[in-house]
Structure 1
Amino acid sequence: MIYSPVNHSQLISNVDRLVRDVLFGTINFQQIKSQLNEFYYSFMISLDSEFRYSKPIQAFIESTNMIIGDAYAYNVFWNDEKTVQFIQLLSGYEKAIKKDYSAWRYQSNQNGKNLELNIRTLISDHSRLLFVRVDLKYIQEISHHITIRDFDFHMKKLRDAIHNGDTCFTHLLSYAWSLEHGGKNGGFHCHLLLIFDGAKHYKDNYLADQVGQKWRDITEGVGYCFILNTKKHKEGLARRGILGIGMIHRNNLQEVENAVNAALYLTRPDKPDGSYQRLKVSLPNMNTFGQSMTH
């Protein structure tokens, strides 16, 4: 792994948010100028021609290039005049950014419909299914070193392990994953759903723990796994009547509906905490959502 000198993922998230705040938020002029001076140089020197950036970030690059031209990024100071130009130029991208956002929401909804269909088909074919949910992240103290290349490499290794049926993935019937980009700390992470044959497995917390260990091995110790299948977390969900992980029985309609709803979290564009966690940078041919039947 190549250690990045800047917080790659946080910087990208900050620039994306700045553009959306200018176009759709309540940010004031001084804040815009301050953030331009804070982010511009570090962001421009970290640009990579291989990366695919979100529409807001593309708008930032094109707008600032029109203002700065060939000047070296280190020498640029964003004064009032340049900031006004930036705001004016950015307004020309509003329609394209809104269109892109609508397309992303539509695709998220389509992904959700396909995922729900696959889950209901699985449930109709099996009397018991074991639903395991984990969030694969990076240790916060190290996450600023993780680039999108690292994340993509780690995810490919994980999917290879799943397809090969390695250790904790035996008797896996289906899985789905969603790649996201944190709002608050800007970290890359993956929401992973694993559906096992309930006639072969019943220890969901143990399996989730094994998946976490696999993730730590793949990431050479910088990975961190948040497990939703702990006894405490499941008890909390059960008290609210929304427990949809662990053992799900086909003849229990409430369990089935809860399981479908829990799974659809992966495809939900609007997260409950209000954060915007869409992946804002990717590599060519890199999917942000996928699902597969393994049986």
Structure 2
Amino acid sequence: MSYSHLNQPLVVANVHNLVTDILANTISFNETMDKLNGWYYPFMNHLNTELFYLQPVLAFLSATQAIVGDTYPENVIWDHDKTQRFITMLSCYRNDIERECIMFSYKESQNKRELKQYTQSLTNHYSRLLFIRIDLKYAKETSHHVSIEDFDAHMRKFRELISNKKTCFEHLQGNAWALEQGSEEYGLHCHLLLIYDGSQRQNDWYLAREVGEKWKIMTGGLGEYYSYHDSERKQQYKQYGKLGIGMIHRDNPQEVENAVASALYLTKPNKNEQQLKSWLPNMRTFGHGIYRIPKRRGLPPIAK
């Protein structure tokens, strides 16, 4: 079997999904055996002890090593007996996995409250704001070149560009971002929210395109993006009274409510399956700008 099309995050995600499927009893024995034979070697080949992994991935590593010991990964064949032992052993890790899911939901709830307060502060302060929503991701055909280290480096550099507030980030008044890992088709990606001064910026479609193209250039052509700002998609949202991107006026409560709801998509406590499956030490997966800064017009100075 050729593994040239696989990258580190995808292999880890497949192992994670195998464990969760087994514990949820949504996968057959024969399919489990086939996937063990398909994923064990590439997982061990991509294993990086400097990374942190989610509990299902750690359970996979611990259970498989308990069964095969020091056997070279390329020599391991998952037969009926080994597969049955693996399935049985996974139940020992169920509590740790469930505890991690609870902690994730709690942290996302905290992020949600924080982001809601942040976006409401901005909409209360400015008469009009331009909300931009865009997803930064990687082209499927080249995603095997992207490691979690690459993703972290790309996002750090892109956040620096946002902070500099030049070119397509000029007149930016707020931002928020969340890193996630989806299916093979979507893989590693970032949900990005940009909030501009509506008296200085008006064309949301153009700005979204400029930001997306900036991502593609910065990633050396590996990046792709998805914009929510084409007229057809916006019309669909508007038709159902849910349009929360584009120009948002403070004196229109429905627009403000929709904008805050759109922003909160970045933090969903029930999106356990979208977590990064592995990450670097000190790697941030969520963040937003700072509202209370000394130069924010109309506000009293921050007490020292």
Indicate which of 280, 286, 289 corresponds to 2:286: 289
Deviations 1:252-284 (A, max 9, x none): 11101101111111001445xxx9221111111
The one-letter amino acid of 1:100's match is E
Q: Measure, in 1, the Cα distance between the counterparts of 2:71 and 2:93.
A: 23
Output the amino acid matched with 1:248: I
Deviation at 1:25, TM superposition (A): 3.4
In structure 1, what residue type is equivalent to 2:247? M
* 2:100 paired with 1:68: no
Contact 1:237 1:243 in 2 (8 A): yes
Hey, what's the Cα distance between the residues in 2 that align with 1:200 and 1:183? Answer: 38
Is contact 2:23-2:90 (8 Å) kept? Answer: yes
Report the TM-score when normalising by structure 2.
Answer: 0.92
Conserved 8 A contact 2:137-2:186: no
Tell me if the contact between 1:10 and 1:185 (Cα under 8 Å) persists in the aligned partners: no
Q: Does the alignment pair 1:37 with 2:34? A: no
Q: Distance in 1 between matches of 2:185 and 2:132?
A: 25
After superposition, what is the alpha-carbon deviation per residue over 1:39-82, rounded to whole angstroms, capped at 9, x for unaligned?
A: 00011011011111111001101111111111100000001111
How do 1:90-239 and structure 2 match up within 5 A? 90-185=90-185, 187-239=187-239
Amino acid paired to 2:260:
V
Q: Which residue of 2 aligns with 1:77?
A: 77
Amino acid at match of 2:162: I
SS at match of 1:26: coil
SS in 1 for 2:157: helix
Indicate the RMSD between aligned Cα atoms, in angstroms: 1.4
1:273-288 → structure 2 map (5 Å cutoff): 276-288=273-285
Partner SS, residue 221 of structure 1? coil
Counterpart-to-counterpart distance in 2, 1:183 and 1:163: 30
Q: One-letter code of the match for 1:31?
A: E
Gaps of 5+ in 1: none
Give 1:7 deviation, angstroms: 2.7
Structure 2 vs 1, CA of residues 99 and 220 (structure 1 numbering), >3 Å: closer, same or farther? Answer: same
* Residues 102-134 of structure 1, C-alpha deviations (whole Å, 9 max, x = no match): 100111111011000011111111110110000
Alignment partners' CA distance in 1, 2:10 and 2:24: 20
Which segments of 5 or more consecutive residues in structure 2 lack a partner in the other structure? 297-304
Q: Is the 8 A contact 1:13 1:186 kept in 2?
A: no
Name which of structure 1's ranges 180-189 and 95-104 shifts more when overlaid on structure 2.
180-189
* Number of residues of Structure 1 aligned to a counterpart in Structure 2: 289
Letter in 1 for 2:9: S
2:9 and 2:42 map into 1 onto residues whose CA distance is 12
Preserved contact between residue 204 and residue 246 of structure 1 (Cα < 8 Å): yes
TM-score under structure 1 length normalisation: 0.94
Partner of 2:300: none
- Residue type of the partner of 1:215? W
* Deviation of the 1:186 alpha carbon: 5.7
